[in-house]
Amino acid sequence: MPTHRSPPTTIAAMQFPHLTRAHLPALLARMPKAELHIHIEGSLEPELIFELARKNGVALAYPSVEALRAAYAFTDLQSFLDLYYAGASVLIDESDFYAMAMAYFARAHADRVVHAELFFDPQTHTERGVPMGAVIGGLARACADAHTQFGISASLILCFLRHMSEASAIETLQAALPYRQHFIGVGLDSGERGNPPEKFATVFAQCRALGLHGVAHAGEEGPPAYITSALDVLQVERIDHGVRCSEDPALVARLAASRMPLTVCPLSNTKLCVFGTMAEHNLATLLHAGLCITLNSDDPAYFGGYLLANFEAAFAALPTLTVQDAWQLARNSFEASFASTAQKAAWMAELDAVFAST
Ligand code: HPA
Ligand code: ZN
Q: Summarize pLDDT for 48-62 with one digit per residue, the tens.
A: 999 999 999 999 999
In the chain, what percentage of residues exceed pLDDT 90? Answer: 95
In the chain, what percentage of residues exceed pLDDT 70? Answer: 96
217 lines ligand 1 (CB under 6 A): yes
Q: Which of 35, 45, 220, 335 is catalytic?
A: 220
pLDDT confidence of residue 15: 82
Give the 3-state secondary structure of residue 125. helix
When pLDDT is cut at 50, 70 and 90, the band that residue 13 belongs to is: low
Q: Is 350 annotated in the active site?
A: no
CB atoms within 10 A of CB 82: 12
Q: Summarize pLDDT for 44-94 with one digit per residue, the tens.
A: 999 999 999 999 999 999 999 999 999 999 999 999 999 999 999 999 999
Q: What is the pTM of this model?
A: 0.96
Ligand nearest to the CA of 269: 1
- Going across the sheet that includes 33-39, the strands are 33-39, 113-120, 153-161, 185-189, 213-218, 238-241, 262-264, 293-295
Going by the DSSP 8-state scheme, the letter that residue 306 receives in this structure is: -
Write the single-letter amino acid at 231. Answer: L
CATH code for the structural domain at 20-357: 3.20.20.140
The number of the ligand 1 atom at minimal distance from the alpha carbon of 299 is: 8
Comparing CA positions, the residue from 109, 133, 114 lying closest to residue 122 is 133
pLDDT confidence of residue 2: 39
Going by the DSSP 8-state scheme, the letter that residue 314 receives in this structure is: H
Ramachandran sector of residue 79 (left: φ over 0; alpha: ψ -120 to 50; beta: rest): alpha
Average pLDDT (166-187) is 98
Query: From the CA of 139, how far away is ligand 1's center (Å)?
Result: 19
The number of the ligand 1 atom at minimal distance from the alpha carbon of 189 is: 3
Looking at the DSSP bridge assignments, the partners of residue 120 are: 158
